[in-house]
Amino acid sequence: MSGFDKIDRRSWVDGAAGSAYDVDNLPYGIFSVGASAPRVGARIGEHVLDLTPTLGESTFDRPHLNGFMAMGTGAWRVTRRRLVQLLTDPARTGEVAPHLHPLAGVTMHRPFEVADYVDFYCSIQHATNVGKIFRPDGSALLPNWRHLPVGYHGRAGTIVVSGTDVRRPYGQRKAPAEEHPTFGPSRRLDIEAELGFVIGIPTHLGEQVSTAAIAEHVFGVTPLNDWSARDIQAWESVPLGPFLGKSFATSISAWITPLEALEEARVELPGQDPAPLSYLEVEEPAGYDLAFEVELNGEVVSRPPYSAMYWSPAQMLAHMTVNGASLRTGDLFASGTISGDEPDQRGSFLELSWGGTEPFGYGRTFLEDGDVVTLRATAPGALGGRIALGEVTGRIDPAHLDFT
């Protein structure tokens, strides 16, 4: 049970009360003002609260959240309660207000140092759509899909913060009608709307994490765009999994929403058949009611519902560690593409265009140079409205080869 359940007051900060960034949200990020060093802040309304002078702790005077994340659930909860108290008691205005900075006047940075990155494939709608596109005469779902959360190990070094441009990648690609592969820029560049989970508390090698222990290890969440070069991916992924088609860039928000802020968003899973093996059993509610939006060049083209996800984050974490693989502070694992039952709920352009055969929006299939993609997500909040997860934006730059 979240200690935040007892909070019933809104913030005194101008414009914050009743907004998507009231005290029932309070995401953390790394910001700087002018030439000052990057440090930890919390978002309240359209302001960033500088935590170093506000709370008087050196943990927040760092260019990443890792130190704070490693302190554990007790420190996370105490800090959150202190911030709620400071930001809802008008008597504290005088001591807190000098440390508030308008968002428009700060620079945001990548919020944490990424240790490892694992991406899953947990939407049955997405997996079924992809199976139908690539295996129209075969089974849409492969035999293992309903028995375990399928995933692959990604590249931590190319996790970038929202607002970072993404260069169109080079690689080998081979269309079905081509006899031999060719080398060049991806011709089928795509997005994947996902939810990422950030690890705070590590484990030792050989130790497993149960599904009941997710809140002891996961610090918070972020919307995530797993940019994907579908032509490179299709050619290289036989017989192994994604490599160059995925490793060139993955975008996350500048803000990490504490897992505790999503208590009101918890919902039961849609149902799992067959019942999972014992180590993957979960206590309901294990899912989350998050509403996503995918925006292409200012136009919303999809609204994927996270509540439709087949596998829960607790099951992802348990499966990721059941073989004894250790966790490190700053590990990031993601849900895989979020898709719903309806055509306008598909979380990738591969699905929206049905493999490039059915243009969507204003006649689009895959990404073109100069395109700007923005992901947004909201969830029910403890104060009765909806809280917003920080948005994720990226623009596609033309391909450039650094050697000839």
| Residue 14, helix vs strand vs coil | coil
DSSP letters for 217-261 = HEEEEEEEE--EEHHHHHHH-SSS--STTTTT-EEE-SEEEEGGG
Of 322, 332, 323, 315, nearest in space to 117 by CA: 332
Given 47, 126, 217, 319, which residue is catalytic? 126
Strand partners, 151: 120
**How is residue 120 written in tokens?**
């899953």
Q: Rg of the chain over CA atoms, in angstroms? A: 21
Is there a contact between 59 and 67 (Cβ–Cβ < 8 Å)? yes
Q: Is 217 among the residues known to form the active site?
A: no
- The amino acid at 285: P
DSSP letters for 63-101 = SSSHHHHTT-HHHHHHHHHHHHHHHH-GGGHHHHGGGEE
DSSP letters for 116-155 = -EEEE---HHHHHHHHHHH-TTS-SS-TTTTTS--EEE--
Catalytic residues: 126
